[in-house]
Amino acid sequence: MNLDDLYRRVIMDHYKNPRNRGSFEDDALKIELNNPTCGDRITLQLKVEDGIVKDARYSGEGCSISMSSASMMTEAVKGKTVAQSLELANRFSDLMKGETVDFEDYEDIEALSGVNKFPARIKCATLAWNALRKGIDEEQQHQ
């Protein structure tokens, strides 16, 4: 099996078996974003306490890339500080620009590295990460 096949399998696994899909019933921070170009939409909920992303959930509709990226992102940021979460988002942006980035803590994210070959799909992959940035920004403004 070559690397592209492995990456495709990882993406499809997150799409068919999403991690952290759902919503919180309480007052978690809620961010809604959509990508009007392709119709992807996401609602991201974050529980941030004492500068740490205690939990993250998402819901929405979209292609396999946007939904698997949301699954991977929520897995990666849980338990991380806000600063570490923003750093992950920045590293993901670099990955989408074609830069070599090592996600040693959560290597599934590297499966999305091939998306940068398809400019129209980059917005799909970055939707959840942009929601994360927006949520952290809102959280910091309310402190």
What does the domain layout of the chain look like in residue ranges?
A: 3-141
Provide the pLDDT for residue 142. Answer: 77
Read out DSSP for 5-54? Answer: HHHHHHHHHHHHS-SSBS--SS--EEEEEEETTTTEEEEEEEEEETTEEE
Q: Work out the number of other CB atoms within 10 angstroms of the CB of residue 131.
A: 25
What is the CA 90 to chain-centroid distance, rounded? 11
Q: CATH code for 3-141? A: 3.90.1010.10
pLDDT of residue 38: 84
Q: Which residues contact 110 (CB under 8 A, 6 or more apart)?
A: 7, 95, 101, 102, 103
Output the pTM of the full model: 0.94
* Residue 92 CB coordination number (10 Å): 24
Section 5-31 average pLDDT: 93
Distance from chain centroid for Cα 58: 9
Q: Flag whether pLDDT at 27 surpasses 90.
A: no
Find all residues with CB under 8 Å of 107, minimum gap 6, and list them. none
Report residue 60 as tokens: 């929405």
Q: Give the SS3 label for residue 60.
A: strand
Whole-number pLDDT of residue 13: 96
Percent pLDDT > 90 in the chain is 76
